[in-house]
Structure 1
Amino acid sequence: MLRREDHYMIKQRHQQGAFIVDIAHQIGCSEKTVRRHISYPAPPTAKRGKKQVAKLEPFKDYIDSRLSEQVWNAAVIFEEIREKGYRGGSAMLRRYIHPKRPLRASKNTVRFETLPGYQLQHDWGEIIVEVAGSPCTVNFAVNTLGFSRCFHVFAAPKQDAEHTYESLVRSFNYFGGSVKTVLVDNQKAAVIKHGQNGNIEFNAGFLQLANHYGFSPRACKPYRPQTKGKTERMVGYVKHNFFTRYRQFESFSHVNQLLAMWLVKVADQRHLRQFKQTPENRFTEEKTALMPLPAGDFDTSYFDIRQVAWDSYIDVRGNRYSVPSFWCGRAVNIRIGLDNRLRIYGDEQLLVTHLLQEVTQGWQKVPEHHQALWQQVNRVESRSLSVYEELL
């Protein structure tokens, strides 16, 4: 059982918005114990009889030897001493081990600190909440500046390449500048594969994004998520803070509107105990080190090539869309934005814009596109009757 001081510290740290895992690490107990004390209205008390404590006495030397061997799992030790004749409970054993936990060898990963404006870490999270009155999976991209810990969140229906790139574009606009390196996980939107000798094949679209904003792409080693631990922690922070405050939304736009307010009022004001500052304070130093943004945003639209059929239509995602008949039999470029607008280009000129529709909505057409085709169909050749009289 924890001390009264530990109980009040848990309560205080929880009210400050600290993660349960951080509180457990600081106190030296399990996350389950932290949750239990958060639910208690007052510090629990217990009466320990001398007879019960005496049950553990013959086994303390053995327990200490196992702890010296770095065996700290109380459940394992409990089973071992039961086989040796221990008849007490596991709680007594845990109370004996708890004060010794500061002697445990640390398994913490050394955190790599970056210079201002040097690195941004990207990661995705997801959660099921209510959107437009129905349960919906909300995917959210978290982009965290390595120095200031200031981050931006973008909610989206998918974790595909277009939304990944859009999240980074919005983050750079939010911060007012770009960084020298962007560290990503191994999602296909950014990384095709890890080759030999540490060579990484990046997605062509991600390389275009990197070239547009002038950053160098970096990827975590496979099965090594600690590399981008700063943004990994922020994914959990968004889940347990923002999505605890808000559970119902009208649309994805509504999610992003609330996120924008929450970032300013809550996330940027959180206390960073290792720096004794807030992200907002540290960002004032990092902002001056960011690289300037290019003249225009990177186009995150999906792009492909289509062949225009004889009837002046192209196929896109199961439906058909009209194109000026002059392009029949020729190739055109298409771009699909996150606003579900289909833009069709020929010779780098915008030919037409359609709003994507379900197949049930029918083919999408512009009447003017088929005028030339109808003129050809309605053109009937006229001949003199003398031509037929000669045949007789």
Structure 2
Amino acid sequence: MVTHRIALIPGDGIGQEVTPAARHVLDTVGARHGVHFTYDEFDWSCARYHETGAMMPADGLEQIRQHDAIFLGAVGDPSVPDHVSLWGLLIPIRRGFRQYVNLRPVKVFEGLPSPVRTALPGQVDLVVVRENVEGEYGEVGGRLHRGFPEEMAVQEAVFTRAGVTRIAEYAFTLADNRRGVLTSATKSNGIVHTMPFWDEIVAEVATSHPDVTWRAEHIDALAAKLVLDPTRFDVIVGSNLFGDILSDLTAAVAGGIGIAPAANLNPEREFPSMFEPVHGSAPDIAGRGIANPLGAIWTAALLLDHLGHAEAAAEVEHAIAACLAKSPVRTPDLGGTANTVEFTKAVLEFA
């Protein structure tokens, strides 16, 4: 029996509802494969911010540094500005633990129609690889002359050779192990410094991966092509901003962000990696018990795979696909009436 220690951060909104679903799946499927999980739960959230003035304690990273992985439910509440909640919890963990890869797989499943008529089950299977710790989400900049007519804001994008090289290397290696096709998101025709720099480094990394067919696509044209013909894509690598936007777009192509998983990875495993569903805290439905747990369940599969349990991870993914294909059980966002617990149970019946 292998034991893993997991830091649970349910967070805000429906994070409180989907985190137990992910935990139930980890415990059930893990037990079949000789894997046991122990959990330490942390109340880091917007509720904590209102009580203490901080999303997490000053020594928060030290409290979770020795865990094998982190599972985060969701971050955000209308009562707290987004830049406060994100920069007080999610981003410090990503950057403090050098989780420079944000991995977001996308599939169209049988039983969950895509709004894109050409996106058929089994034909859309891609991964967005997002640079996760620098780029457009840099901390360089500021605001001047607040409250005066000449008030201004400056936000600097920061791209480093080390940062672009390592995310490109990860993406090309991933493409080597998939269908061997990579698309690099750029905008070098309009952003004259950082994007040509990105393009040059991606091209350099490509020379070490001769079996990968690749091309650079301007972000605006790429967004259009993802809607017109999503089947042509395999691995897409993009900067922090471009990867963020594309991962939500591709999730929508697959039928909704409620099913989308994500992993924040430190590939060198010097620090724990963090796993989170894409859907956010969804305050409009929070507390009603109807949140779609599929994003959290698929995220649990990513966690299992990262910890070295590929067969268990595949079992979870198979259960998701089988449930959608063979069961009528759906949460309201997918057109059904099931609650979170009922949908989780339905998935596990196929595991």
- Regarding TM over 0.5, the answer is no
TM-score, length-scaled by structure 2: 0.25
When Rg is computed on C-alpha atoms for both structures, the one with the higher figure is: 1
TM-score, length-scaled by structure 1: 0.23
Q: Return the structure number with greater relative CO, CA threshold 8 A, min gap 6.
A: 2
